[in-house]
Amino acid sequence: MTLRFAIVGAGVISARHAEALGAFPGEAELAAVVDLDPARAEDMAERCGAQAFGDVETAVEATGADVAVVCTPTGLHGDAAVRALDAGAHVVIEKPADVTVERIDRVIAARERTGRLVAVVSQHRFDPATETVVEAIRAGELGRLTSGTANIDWWRGQAYYDSGAWRGTWEFDGGGALMNQGVHTVDLLVAAMGRPVEVVGFTATLAHERLETEDVAVGAVRFASGAVGTIHASTAVYPGLTARLQVHGDRGSAVIENDRLVFFHRTPAGTERPEVFMGAPGQSPNQAGEHGAGAAQPDALVRQYRNFFAALRGEEAVRVGLEENRQAVALVTGLYEAARTGAPVRL
């Protein structure tokens, strides 16, 4: 059976979804494009051979769409998702699920009420590098986790923030460099390190004008396991460097840079860990090459959709849903509150 899709919000990211769905001929079909701006809806609908609509309920009813993909500005995600669920569709929501945990909880309630499935896009959880590291952590091959760091060292020009009235606003973006750009790597930090329980932080707006929210955020986190972590999320790093996740334990470490495993050292269960008096890179061979570090990167959004399709068939669980994304959003909003109040925030 071919699943029929409705894309809600025909902006920049919607094109990636249309492209990813194109990787499933016979399995998925884009039937409807919804946008408040009729010209945007019609333009994309025409390009994709779909029908254009002004609201999600009419789109689902008219086309019998099975799945709605929410690509609106972030602060409107929850509202659009609840409306799509109530109209009878399953839902895929672009990251982050919404701008507060309370709003995400409303979507969780609607999901429970309707018995539909909801996935939240966090495509980098489906990168082979992330899968390798998370699997190694689960198998205990990094030992006791000690610390993790998430660094998003990016640049966004003023023209980026001027390109959409919602960008960089509290109401619709939910924050700046940390909530919009950083949430991917923060989500990976949580996937690797487990539940965050406390956060402190500072934020600043230093390299942009007419920006309500921050262009740089730093924070320190404590996880339920006792491990600690740091976050540095910025769109004020000219000319733009990398996104990097580091995870460290007493039997191994991993570094993922720009979605690729660049350093990996694990000690498999039952293997003796050589005693090291003072560690240095030369003494700890980089095993990243043994784990496909140089291989071509598959399309991670396609891989996330593959999991969602398997979940709809009842063959797999939704790997990244509302509960997973809620932890990343809680950490981001907790860091904002800590920066505002100057006090640590318990999550």
Ligand X SMILES: NC(=O)c1ccc[n+]([C@@H]2O[C@H](COP(=O)([O-])OP(=O)(O)OC[C@H]3O[C@@H](n4cnc5c(N)ncnc54)[C@H](O)[C@@H]3O)[C@@H](O)[C@H]2O)c1
302 scored as a contact of ligand X (CB under 6 A): no
Cβ distance to ligand X smaller for residue 11 or 201? 11
8 scored as a contact of ligand X (CB under 6 A): yes
Q: Which of 9, 128, 168, 176 binds ligand X (CB under 6 A)?
A: 9
95 scored as a contact of ligand X (CB under 6 A): yes
Q: Which of 53, 73, 125, 267 binds ligand X (CB under 6 A)?
A: 73
Report helix, strand or coil for 23: coil
98 scored as a contact of ligand X (CB under 6 A): no
Cα–Cα dist 67/124, whole Å: 22
Q: What are the tokens at 287?
A: 């095993």
Question: One symbol per residue from 23 to 62: x for binding ligand X (CB under 6 A), - otherwise; what is it?
Answer: -----------xxxx--x----------------------
For residue 153, the cross-strand partners are 234
Segment 134-173, which members bind ligand X (CB under 6 A)? Answer: 164
For residue 67, the cross-strand partners are 5, 90
71 scored as a contact of ligand X (CB under 6 A): yes
Segment 177-236, which members bind ligand X (CB under 6 A)? Answer: 180
Cα–Cα dist 161/154, whole Å: 14
Q: Which of 21, 69, 76, 199 binds ligand X (CB under 6 A)?
A: 76
Cβ distance to ligand X smaller for residue 40 or 337? 40
Residue at shortest CB range from ligand X: 11
In terms of C-beta density within 10 A (0-12 exposed, 13-18 middle, 19 or more buried), how is residue 140 classed?
Answer: middle
Cα–Cα dist 108/321, whole Å: 10
Exposure b/e, 40-72, CB count within 10 A at least 16 = b: bbbebbeebebbbbeebbebbeebebbbbbbbb
Footprint of ligand X on this chain (CB under 6 A)? 8-13, 34-37, 40, 71-74, 76, 80, 94-95, 121, 123, 164, 180
